[in-house]
Amino acid sequence: MTIDAPAKVNLVLRILGRRSDGFHEIETLMVPLALADEISVTVSEGSGVQLECDDPGVPVDASNLAARAAVVFAERTGRVFRTGIVLKKRIPTGAGLGGGSSDAASVLLALNRLLEAGLDAGALEAMAAELGSDVAFFIQRKAAWCRGRGELIEPVDDVPGLRLLMVKPPFPVPTVWAYKAWSACGGRGIAAAAETLELVNDFEPVVFEKYVLLAVMKDWLGRQEGVEAVMMSGSGSTLFAVLKGAADGIEERIRGEFGPQVWMCRTRTAGNG
């Protein structure tokens, strides 16, 4: 079967402190996007995982979260099968958009259906939590408050639909580095308003101190006609601009200001799953 693996943005991301297990306690409002990778999953006799990807920068070995998801599914269900995965990347890597986590969750969803395992959302979320902190969010694919290290999911229905322009410079921001940098200073993010929402990201002060271009881009985007608010998603490096109008020609202006290597995509939130 073929399944979409949606990206996400963090409309709110608060870091509450470091936990005794080494992870960080967070509180974040995450919303899935129409922007999505495409994953085709097949099962056959045998064992193991074969992964193909159209992005040469994405690993296709056992380190890939999508491949690890197939292994975890087999181990937790006690089933023996061979998994084939073909991944078409549309979500940039190292972007703070959850592409790898969404790919992994989508493999779990596909295998559950293909093998008629009958696992409910709770069982799949528990499996997903073994793979990464935000993988569980992508099981239900609904706007949700995520707490703990990100694995405690509380879906919400009152998030307004937003039209977004995603903007990513040609470099990633390592998430592990971002958490370490935050722990060193314990900074708080700067809030911005969009619709009836307050947008905030506690990573912004520490990330902007090192990656100054992101601060410059956020300021510049916020001054453009048709842009209501700008925020960084996750640990970066993607900024998302909330559009309140057509914002005609903004992509051309971004390329003229910051160069042709900036990745851009217009999309929308898909908070109802």
Instruction: Choose, from 8, 89, 142, 218, the residue flagged as catalytic.
Output: 8
- Report d(CA 68, CA 226) in Å as an integer: 42
Note if 88 is an active site residue.
no
Neighbouring residues of 57: CB distance < 8 A, sequence distance ≥ 6: 93
d(CA 147, CA 60): 30
Element of type H or E holding 214: helix 212-222
Containing 213, the helix (H) or strand (E) segment is: helix 212-222
Q: Tokens 């080494």, residue?
A: 22
Q: Is there a catalytic annotation at residue 89?
A: no
Residue with tokens 């300021």: 219
37, 89, 103, 134: which is the annotated catalytic residue?
A: 134
Quick one: tokens of 48?
Answer: 């193991």
- DSSP-assigned letters across all residues of 217-238: HHHHHHTSTTEEEEEE-TTSS-
Distance of alpha carbon 70 from its chain centroid, rounded?
Answer: 20
Count of CB atoms within 10 A of residue 253's CB? Answer: 15
SS3 109: helix
SS3 of 151, please?
coil
Catalytically active residues, by annotation: 8, 134
